[in-house]
Amino acid sequence: MIELFQLEQLAAFGKYGTLSKAAEALHLSQPTLTRSMQKLEAEFGVSLFRHAKNKLEFNENGELAAEHAVRILNQTRDMLELVRAKDRASHTLSFGTCAPVPALILLQNAAQAYPNMAVSTESKDNETLLAGLRNGEYQAIILPYQPEGQDLCWKEYGTETLAFALPPGHPLANRDGLYMRELDGENMLLYADIGFWHELPAQKMPHSRFLIQSDRFAFTELVQSSVLPSFVTDAAMRLYGPPENRKVVPILDPEATVAYYAVCLKQGLHRVKRLF
């Protein structure tokens, strides 16, 4: 039977034009290719080459055969690629999230429930998350609201309430609660990786400027060393503790408290059952 290494050699000759170049590219000797091409002709039962004086080139049969060869080789590579990808996917849980805190909790739970799985997570907006869930990119997602859809399973996944973290000297630092509009206009420190929480301050405090810090260390450092107000949430404080040298004042706007839902496809429930 004809074999892939022969097709590879055929394709290489088609690509490089001479046996020597092809042999070099394949890390083989020229004699090897001479014999291979002869064997190939024998197995096709057909002449594939024009033998010029000191030059070997395809005839029409050879051209056709080489085209098919590259197609078959590509398909073989695709097969390897796809099977490996499928295997990788079967050992990986991919989550999408609207916010980092519930994602961390989900990651912890997943790592515990599926110790042999690789677990990854990424932040996207809600529509992107749902689309990614439905096209198989995510096995589960975290949404800040209860989803709708016959194809979905969900489970409550905790709540989170936004609060101001004010320097002790701030005029409003002693209040028990604040509405966001009361600080509208003040410039604030904002950590970049907070998912959908970006929306609320931008909407409720249109006159404030937000100094966005993408580096976690820089952010905590600035919170301690500056008098700029910043944000914190109850859930984040449970994970990381309260910010140092700050008064935490809960935000009273109803949108500042959200309930999270872990969501998966009903047809994909088996892959994340232990989390639901």
User: Nearer Cβ to DNA, position 48 or 130?
Assistant: 48
Contact 226, 196 (CB under 8 A): no
d(CA 123, CA 191): 14
Q: Does 5 help bind DNA (rule: CB under 7 A)?
A: yes
Binding string, residues 6-35; x marks residues near its own copies by CB under 8 A? --x---------------------------
Among 90, 116, 150, 225, binds its own copies (CB under 8 A): 90
The encoded tokens of residue 208 equal 């404030």
| CA triple 26-29-34, angle to 5 deg | 100
CA atoms 37, 42, 45, 46: torsion sign: positive
Site string for DNA, 16-35 (x = CB under 7 A): --xxxx-----xxxxxx-xx
Q: Which is nearer to DNA, 20 or 120 (CB)?
A: 20
We find the least distance from the C-beta atom of residue 242 to its own copies, in angstroms, to be: 48
Contact status: 4 vs its own copies (CB under 8 A): yes
Q: Is 5 in the site for its own copies (CB under 8 A)?
A: yes
Q: What residues form DSSP beta bridges with 263?
A: 141, 154
CA distances from 153 to 38, 119, 158, 222 (A): 62, 20, 16, 41
**Do the Cβ atoms of 19 and 34 come closer than 8 Å?**
yes
Which of the ranges 2-10, 108-116, 126-134, 157-165 carries the binding residues for its own copies, by CB under 8 A? 2-10
Q: Which residues bind DNA (CB under 7 A)?
A: 3, 5, 18-21, 27-32, 34-39, 49, 51, 53-56
